[in-house]
Amino acid sequence: METKGVTMQHVSRPKVIIGNWKMNKTVAETRSFVSGLGLNSVVRTFQVGLAVPYTMILTAAEAARGTAISIGAQNCSDHDEGAFTGEISCHMLKDAGASFVLVGHSERRQLFHETNALVNRKVKKSIAATLKPVVCIGETEEQHLSGKIENVLHDQILHSLKGLNPSEVEHLILAYEPIWAIGTGKTATPENIQFAHAYCRKVIASEWGKDTAEHTVILYGGSVKPENAAMILEQSDVDGLLVGGASLSLESFNKILNV
Ligand code: 13P
């Protein structure tokens, strides 16, 4: 049996493609995108999700009803309820029709100063609300160039997932998104991506066990386009994609789903 990292051939993990719309789209655009995707997409090959703005969750979930498309949020509160003006709890997201939530996206970490400790609290809240967390990690360009990628990923995984049990880690999704590749058009090479994903799996194996690591879905994100999606998906430790810009157009997102 050939092994790469800790992945063995007999383990079959689901293939997942999630579009992250970030701060884009109106109600009308959401409705037409989701119904168009429901008609055309190849949900046979991939589990497909859309992480939409808070205000679009209900609309997107209604438009996705009867299809295999999952709707998710891009962030959540680390509190359940109360006087937290402007915040949205995991229970509220679930109630509006979300089934997953992005946690610790690099834009949240960088622009809104989210720490690993806050990400960890949000991950725990989402699990408690049965909302699947998609936990985002990744290094900056400077960390990448100075060879700190392993240290950064190690710290982010251990601290963001601190206190979770193996079954919880097995059922969440990890998304490796090198910050220097997000929205820049620079994609990490397939070899770099495979290296980082295999390393993430190794960290999970050492903390939560090999079996857990073999089952955890790890996505890649950062300038994914129809032209590079297939080559990234071919990497043995890549279980899918987290797509930003290219998920905004039905045409390019459909192309990615059909690679
Ligand atoms: P881009 O695909 O636009 O680089 O964005 C990646 C991302 O941040 C997905 O979460």
Q: Are 112 and 87 in contact (CB under 8 A)?
A: no
Instruction: Say whether pLDDT at 3 is over 60.
Output: no
Give 8's pLDDT tier (boundaries 50, 70, 90). very low
The pLDDT tens digits of the residues spanning 23-62 come to 999 999 999 999 998 776 555 689 999 999 999 999 999 9
CATH topology of domain 16-257: TIM Barrel (3.20.20)
- Give the whole-angstrom CA distance, residue 127 versus residue 143: 30
pLDDT confidence of 10, banded at 50, 70, 90? low
Choose from 4-8, 187-191, 212-216 the range with maximum mean pLDDT: 212-216
Q: What is the pLDDT of residue 151?
A: 97
In short, whether 224's Cβ falls inside 6 Å of ligand 1 is yes
User: Average per-residue pLDDT in the chain?
Assistant: 93
Is the pLDDT at 101 greater than 80, yes or no? yes
Please say if the pLDDT value at position 5 is more than 60. Answer: no
User: Does the Cβ of 74 fall within 6 Å of ligand 1?
Assistant: no
The residues near 147 (Cβ < 8 Å, ≥ 6 apart) are: none
Please work out whether the CB of residue 97 comes within 6 Å of at least one atom of ligand 1: no
Q: Which residues pair with 66 in a beta bridge?
A: none
Q: Is 188 close to ligand 1, i.e. is its CB under 6 Å away? A: no
Q: Which atom of ligand 1 is nearest to the CA of 245?
A: 3
- State residue 1's pLDDT score: 32
Q: Which of 137, 141, 224 to mutate to test the pocket of ligand 1 (most atoms within 8 A of CB)?
A: 224
Active-site residue identified among 107, 177, 197, 214? 177
Query: What pLDDT sits at residue 183?
Result: 87
Computed from CA positions of residues 11, 14, 17, 18, in that sequence, does the dihedral angle turn out positive or negative? negative
Q: What would the 3-class secondary structure string for 59-93 be?
A: HHHHHHCCCCCEEEECCCCCCCCCCCCCCCCHHHH
Domain boundaries, the chain: 16-257
Segment 229-241 shows an average pLDDT of 97
- Compute, in angstroms, the gap from residue 220 CA to the centroid of ligand 1: 9
Of the candidates 4, 1, 38, 73, which has an alpha carbon nearest to the alpha carbon of residue 253?
38
Q: What's the pLDDT at 148?
A: 95
Could you tell me which residues come within 8 angstroms of residue 146 by beta carbon, excluding any fewer than 6 positions away? none
Residue 114 appears among annotated catalytic residues: no
Please tell me the predicted confidence (pLDDT) of residue 40: 64
Sorted by sequence, the CB contacts under 8 Å of residue 145 that are 6+ apart come out as none
pLDDT of residue 4: 39
Is 72's C-beta closer than 6 angstroms to any atom of ligand 1? no
Measured between alpha carbons, how far is residue 240 from residues 48, 53, 147, 168 in Å?
10, 21, 25, 19
Q: What pLDDT is recorded for position 71?
A: 98
- Residue 185's pLDDT is 82
- Look at residue 77 and tell me whether its pLDDT is greater than 80: yes
